[in-house]
Structure formats: C-alpha cells, structure tokens
C-alpha cells in the first residue's frame, strides 16, 4: 500500500496530493479488506459491542447503576419476586451493594472506551508533535526531546499517575483521568514515530520537495504527515489499548473515581468484596468479558493496521 | 548509542556539543558514557519524584496524621503540634533546597527513608522483603515465558513448519490480548474456587510463619502456580508475535539464500541463521520487560494477594504511606534504568556488528 501511495503524493507535491491520495486509497479498500481479515474481525467485534451498548442505552433504565438502588446479591434471572411482592427483572443480577449489573455494563463499557480514546488522542498528538520537532529540527531540540523520552521510558506511566493522583488528593473525573494518562504516555509513540520520520526525511520525494523550496512546515504537513497516517493510526490504536489498560489498572488499585461505573471500578469492587470467593460469578463475568472483547478487538485492529502501514509484515508465511 | 554520537557529530557545533565532545573525549569508553547516562536518568527521574508532591502544595505527613486522627476519633487540637514534630523528624520543616540535598544524598546512600504507617520500619526493609517475593516468582516466570514464547514464535515464523501448528498457536496469541490479572481472576475461579485444587490467595498459608522447611517450600510453590500460569499464558503471545515477525524478516535476507544454496540442513539454517539473527531484538525486549516486571505485576499480585511489591504498593496507597510509595517508584526506576544500562553494555557481546562500530 505504502508504495502505491507514496508515488502520487511525491509527484504532485502540493495541495493536489490529498485528493489523489484519497482516491488511490479508497478504490482497493474492499479488495484489501478480504486480504486483511484481522482488521475486519476486530472492527466488527468492537462496533458490534458498541451497537449492543447503544441498544441497551435506548431500551434499559440505566439509573440503577448507583449503589443501594436494587436488592443486593440477586443472581441473574429474568424475573425476581421481591420481598414486597413486586416482580422485577435483573437479567445480569445485582451486586452486594445493590447495583443493577446490566446498567453497569451498559454505562461502563463506553465510559472506559472514552477514557482510552481521550488518552490515546492526547498521547498521539503530543508524541507526533515531539517526534516531528525532534526528527525535523535535529540538533539541540532532538537532544532535549530524546533525553525527556529516555527518562520518561524509565518511569512507567502508571507510577507517575499514582504519584500525581496521591498528591492531588481528590478523585479525578473520567475525562481528567483520560487526559492524565495521555499526558504520561506520549513518550513511547514519540520515540517510534520519530524513527519513522527520520527514515522518511531521507527519502527522495522529501529531498526533492526541499530542493524545490517548500518550507519546513510545508514538507511536514504536505509530504510527511499524509504518508505517516497509516502508521499514526496504528500507534493510536495501540495507545488507546495501553491507556485502557492503565486506566483499569489505576482504578483496580483504588485510585479511580468511586462514583463512576467504569469497567475498572467494577473490577475494583469485585476485588474489594472478593466476589470470586462469594461465588458471585455474575458480578465479575460481564466486566471481564467486556474488557477481554475490547482488548482482543483492539489487538486485532492494531495488527491489521500494522500490516496496512508496514508492508514488510505482509504475510509471507 | 551510535545514533546519538552521529547525531552530535552531524549538528552544527554549539557550546553544549563542544562540552559534550570534551567530556566524551576524556571519558572515551562507551561503558563509562552509558553509566553516566544511567546516573543522569536516575537523577532526573528522582528529581521529578521529588518535585511532584511539592507542586500540589499538599503535605503528605499532615494528610496522613489527619486521616489517622479521623479513624481513631482522636481530638483535633494537638494535631498541628504533632504534625510539626513529625515534619521536623522527617526534615520537612527545612528550606526546599536543604530538603532536596538531603533527598539526593540519602538516595546516593540507597536510603529510602522511613515508613509513615509502620513508623519505626524503614522503607528499605519493607521494599526489600517484598522484592524477594516479586523477583522470585515474577522474574522466574518472565524468563520462562520469554523462552517458551520465543520458541513458539520462531517455529511459527518458519516456512517449513507443520501446518497444524498455526491452529494451536493462534488461540494462544489471542490470549496475550487479555490483561494478566483478568486471566488470573478466571484461573482463581476455575482452579481454586470451583475445583479447589489450589489455594485462593496469598504467598503461603495464613497460619504458617516463613521458614525453610520442606513443607513450607511446597506451600510456597503451590501458591505460586496460579499467578505463574496467569503471567505465562498472557505473555507467551507477546514474545511469539515479536519473534514471528523477526523470523519472517530474515526470510528474504541474502545470508538465508546463501545458507540454502550451500545445501545446509534445515535445522542448522533454522537455529544458526534464522533464530540467531531474529533473537537480537527479542533480547532487547526482555531487558526492558525485566525492568518493568514490578509495575506490570502490581495487579496480578493484588488479585492473588501475593505478598510482593505490588501488594505493598497497594497497601501503601490505601494507608497513604507516601514514603513507601516513593521508595517503590525509585526502586522501579532503578530497575528499568539498570536493565537498559546492562543491555547497552552486554549487547555488543551478542551482536558483533555493534562491537565493530563501538571500537
């Protein structure tokens, strides 16, 4: 794919590059989808789950996600006769604190994905800017960014987040959590994108563009960035997965927002009330299944995108 | 390393660069340079660790005392005086630069300070004890998963493998997408709760005291089985995917064609030509992962209530024992920076091409 795309962009060298770039890409996309099943399977899994969640939002009353809104410890069945004689349905059961677990599943899945998406976008944006500054301007700028990245890689994001969160001393909202994770996890994308840019700036079409007097910004935005989009997209998916992992980790050790029904907080309550030893499989199974589906679909999408962005990985075996 | 040197030589000479040249001229040897960089990373990281709490304007010691007072229902009156005396004890009443110098000199002596929650105990003591558990289990298991996963990846990336292997390994690769602690929860449910074969939690039975008897060792091993499997199953795929990619990359290389043309045996081409070359990036990965074992396994230890660093970190967060948290972060930074340093020093032994370039 990359070879097919690079040629027209390099030749046109200017505003025309974009339209040609898009046409070239979208014509073979159907054919390409058949060759790249993991991208399709991952996409179908992720959007299928979001579709179900969307339907859930429409048909189910999600107000009962708060503690003490339902009877406690009900196993999942379609109808329960409650103590006062009324009949209520809890298809996913309820937990020891009286939450409707179906409501938790409907609210928690998109909330966790939202944290991941916010963090991923923040991390990739910062990482790409840092990578281009380092790789394009070289010299002192590169040295400074490289030392920051090296130090950043030696300090796991989860630990910085723990330190920051402890010292802030209050609960972060889910969006703030996403931004905080993004701010601490841009160094890895910065490093990988930088090495991609370093390779790219030696290529003939960038060289030619420079000789024909295009400004630094022009080369970055018109020549390099369009060609890096597949790679950046693949990194974005990886970052989103990493951020979701970090957010669940942070929440599971008790540093999340206690009032938000995210998947990570559900895991936290499960560990806290040792649901496994209580035999309440219906409590831990839905968040676990949702997390597993999210990770497997993101993994499939990212390996599919990898194959798209890096033709050297094409199946030769 | 070489990239850095080249970058410096290519750029226009500035003051920073010429100072760097003089220093690197004096200290010439790359091991020395790498060690200085290791010290630099540790220093910068610990400075960040020192600054973060000061930015928020909160006082960890006072917070902690307030919390204790609320729990114990004690009178609030003497609290300020108490906080003052504690701050004096921890050196927190000194000016900022004195605190910083004390922090750095303590760090240079590998003294991580004193726990707030378990007051007379030192952080060194607490962290060291739990580190034994973490390194004992997690270190062993990480190396085991590395060997198994690399082997699996090498075979998967080999064109002449038996066809059915693909179908055995693919589910294993998907397993790597599941976080280790979630796999741990499933394993606990299946093998400890439902079947009752293995203990539910802990590093050893609650009633026993750690000793070196045979039965205690068996006890420890029984408790280690589930966390070990959780980690092995979910990280084999990670190593296998990397190794498979590198093996595929070796396929088109000239030395492979040459080995084939020489009529060498398939097994020899596999081990000495393909695996030998594909292994190098894997080793880099192993060094980096060895550095991060502790963070990666915090949640596994939490799920299994395993008495390692992760569990201590969790307890410290819950008790807001700031000095223990800081100590653990510093130990982890030391681990990662140390692993990177060792890798840089040992890598030339594995890769002759780098040896030539360095000398």
Structure tokens at A92: 């996913």
One DSSP character per residue, B187-217 reads: HIIIIIIIS--S-SSSSS-TTPPP---HHHH
Of A140, A245, A252, the CB nearest to B302: A252
| Sign of the Cα pseudo-torsion (B199, B201, B203, B206, in order) | negative
- Rounded CA separation B329/B33 (Å): 25
Contacts of A60 (CB under 8 A, 6+ apart): A102, A103, A106
Which residues 136-175 of A are in CB contact (within 8 Å) with B?
A: 138-140, 142-143, 146-147, 150-151, 153-156, 158-160, 162-164, 166-169
Mean pLDDT (10-residue bins), chain B, 359 residues: 46 64 63 83 85 70 65 59 69 77 82 74 84 84 90 83 73 76 84 80 71 76 86 85 81 83 85 83 78 71 84 82 84 84 79 61
The 3-state secondary structure of A74-110 reads CCCEEEEECCCCCEEEECCCECCCCCEHHHHHHHHHH
Q: How confident is the model at residue A119 (pLDDT cuts 50, 70, 90)?
A: very high
- Rounded CA separation B4/A303 (Å): 30
Structure tokens at B184: 């741990």
Residue A16 pLDDT = 41
- Rounded CA separation B106/B91 (Å): 12
Instruction: For residue B134, count CB atoms less than 10 angstroms from its CB and return exposed for 0-12, middle for 13-18, buried for 19 or more.
Output: buried
pLDDT at A240 over 90: yes
Of B12, B245, B298, the CB nearest to A313: B245
Of A20 and A160, which is predicted with more confidence? Answer: A160
pLDDT in tens, A199-229: 887 888 888 888 888 888 888 888 888 888 8
B53 interaction partners in chain A (CB closer than 8 Å): 163, 167
What number of C-beta contacts closer than 8 Å exist between A and B?
A: 144
Residue B1 pLDDT = 43
CB contact under 8 A, A317 and B185: no
Residue B243 pLDDT = 86
Q: Are B293 and B164 in contact (CB under 8 A)?
A: no
pLDDT at A191 over 70: yes
Q: What percent of chain A has pLDDT over 70?
A: 84
Instruction: For chain A, say whether B36 makes contact (Cβ under 8 Å).
Output: no
Going by the DSSP 8-state scheme, the letter that residue A172 receives in this structure is P
Of A155, A255, A276, the CB nearest to B189: A276
Residue A46 pLDDT = 92
| Closest among A180, A144, A147 to A255, alpha carbons compared | A180
pTM value is 0.78
Residue with tokens 């729990």: B71
CB contact under 8 A, B200 and A277: yes
Distance between B327 CA and the closest CA of chain A, angstroms: 11
ipTM of the complex: 0.72
Distances (CA, A) of A265 to A90, A109, A143, A166, B295: 20, 11, 40, 17, 19
One DSSP character per residue, B229-257 reads: HHHHHHHHHHHHHHHHHHHHHHHT-HHHH
Q: What is the mean pLDDT of chain A?
A: 79
Q: Are A66 and A97 in contact (CB under 8 A)?
A: no
Of A150, A249, A299, the CB nearest to B177: A299
Compute the radius of gyration of chain A from its Cα atoms.
24
**Average pLDDT of the segment spanning A61-77:** 75
Number of helices (H), then strands (E), in chain A: 15, 2
Instruction: Compute φ and ψ for A177, nearest 5 degrees.
Output: -60, -45
| Closest among B299, B155, B150 to B230, alpha carbons compared | B299
pLDDT at A251 over 60: yes
**Average pLDDT of the segment spanning A113-130:** 94
| Closest among B163, B142, B310, B333 to B238, alpha carbons compared | B142
Q: Are A304 and A36 in contact (CB under 8 A)?
A: yes
**Average pLDDT of the segment spanning A171-175:** 84
CB contact under 8 A, B295 and A271: no
Contacts made by residues A199-208, CB under 8 angstroms, sequence distance 24+: A200/A224, A200/A227, A200/A228, A201/A135, A201/A136, A203/A6, A204/A10, A205/A6, A205/A9, A205/A10, A205/A11, A205/A13, A208/A10, A208/A13
| Sign of the Cα pseudo-torsion (B155, B182, B309, A147, in order) | positive
Residue B271 pLDDT = 82
Residue with tokens 């189910």: A60
- Rounded CA separation B99/B108 (Å): 14
Which residues 172-231 of A are in CB contact (within 8 Å) with B?
A: none
Residue B3 pLDDT = 47
B49 interaction partners in chain A (CB closer than 8 Å): 163
- Rounded CA separation A3/A1 (Å): 6
Domains of chain B: 2-108 (no CATH), 123-354 (1.10.3720.10)
Of A135 and B145, which is predicted with more confidence? Answer: B145
């Amino acid at each position: 794919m990359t070879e097919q795309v690079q040629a027209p962009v390099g030749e046109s060298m200017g505003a025309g590059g974009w339209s040609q770039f898009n046409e070239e890409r979208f014509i073979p996309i159907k054919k390409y989808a058949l060759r790249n099943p993991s991208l399709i399977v991952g996409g179908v899994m992720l959007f299928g789950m979001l579709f179900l969640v969307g339907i859930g939002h429409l048909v189910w009353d999600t107000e009962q996600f708060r503690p003490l809104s339902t009877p406690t410890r009900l196993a999942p069945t379609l109808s329960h006769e409650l103590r006062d004689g009324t009949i209520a349905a809890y298809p996913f059961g309820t937990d020891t604190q009286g939450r409707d677990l179906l409501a938790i599943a409907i609210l928690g899945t998109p909330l966790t994905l939202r944290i991941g998406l916010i963090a991923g976008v923040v991390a990739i944006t910062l990482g790409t800017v840092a990578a281009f500054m380092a790789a394009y301007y070289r010299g002192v700028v590169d040295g400074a960014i490289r030392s920051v990245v090296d130090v950043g890689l030696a300090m796991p994001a989860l630990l910085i987040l723990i330190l920051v969160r402890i010292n802030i001393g209050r609960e972060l909202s889910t969006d703030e959590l996403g931004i905080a994770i993004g701010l601490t996890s841009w160094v890895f994308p910065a490093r990988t994108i930088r090495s991609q840019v370093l390779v790219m700036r030696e290529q003939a079409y960038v060289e030619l563009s420079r000789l024909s007097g295009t400004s630094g910004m022009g080369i970055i935005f018109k020549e390099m960035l369009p060609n890096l989009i597949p790679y950046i997209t693949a990194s974005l998916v990886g970052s989103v997965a990493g951020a979701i992992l970090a957010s669940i980790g942070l929440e599971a050790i008790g540093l999340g927002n206690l009032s938000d029904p995210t998947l990570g907080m559900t895991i936290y309550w499960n560990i806290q009330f040792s649901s496994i030893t209580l035999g309440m499989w219906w409590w831990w199974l839905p968040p676990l299944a949702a997390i597993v589906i999210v990770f497997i679909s993101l993994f499939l999408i990212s390996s599919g995108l990898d194959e798209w962005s890096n033709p050297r990985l094409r199946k030769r075996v | 390393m070489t990239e850095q040197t080249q970058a410096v030589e290519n750029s226009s000479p500035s003051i920073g660069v010429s100072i760097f040249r003089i220093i690197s001229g004096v200290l010439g040897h790359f091991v020395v340079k790498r060690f200085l960089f290791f010290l630099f990373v540790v220093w910068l990281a610990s400075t960040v660790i020192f600054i973060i709490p000061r930015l928020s304007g909160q006082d960890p010691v006072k917070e902690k005392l307030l919390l204790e007072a609320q729990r114990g229902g004690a009178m609030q009156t003497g609290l300020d005086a108490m906080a003052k005396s504690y701050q004096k004890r921890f050196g927190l009443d000194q000016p900022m630069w004195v605190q910083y110098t004390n922090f750095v000199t303590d760090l240079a002596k590998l003294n991580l300070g004193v726990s707030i929650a378990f007051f007379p105990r030192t952080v060194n003591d607490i962290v060291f004890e739990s580190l034994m558990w973490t390194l004992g289990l997690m270190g062993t298991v990480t190396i085991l998963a590395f060997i198994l996963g690399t082997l699996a990846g090498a075979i998967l990336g080999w064109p002449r493998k038996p066809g059915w292997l693909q179908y055995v390994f693919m589910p294993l690769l998907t397993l790597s997408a599941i976080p280790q602690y979630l796999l741990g929860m499933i394993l606990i449910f299946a093998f400890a709760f439902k079947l009752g074969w293995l203990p539910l939690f802990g590093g050893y039975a609650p009633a026993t005291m750690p000793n070196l008897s045979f039965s205690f060792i068996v006890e420890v091993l029984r408790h280690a089985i589930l966390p070990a499997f959780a980690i092995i199953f979910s990280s084999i795929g990670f190593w296998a995917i990397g190794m498979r990619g590198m093996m595929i990359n070796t396929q088109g290389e000239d030395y492979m064609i040459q080995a084939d043309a020489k009529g060498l045996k398939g097994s020899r081409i596999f081990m000495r030509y393909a695996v030998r070359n594909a292994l190098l990036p894997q080793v880099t990965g192993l060094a980096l992962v060895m550095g991060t074992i502790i963070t990666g396994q915090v949640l596994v230890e939490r799920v299994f209530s395993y008495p390692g660093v992760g569990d201590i970190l969790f307890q410290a967060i819950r008790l807001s024992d700031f000095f223990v948290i800081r100590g653990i972060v510093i130990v982890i930074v030391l681990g990662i920076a140390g692993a990177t340093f060792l890798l840089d020093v040992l890598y030339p032994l594995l890769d002759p091409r780098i040896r030539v370039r360095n000398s």
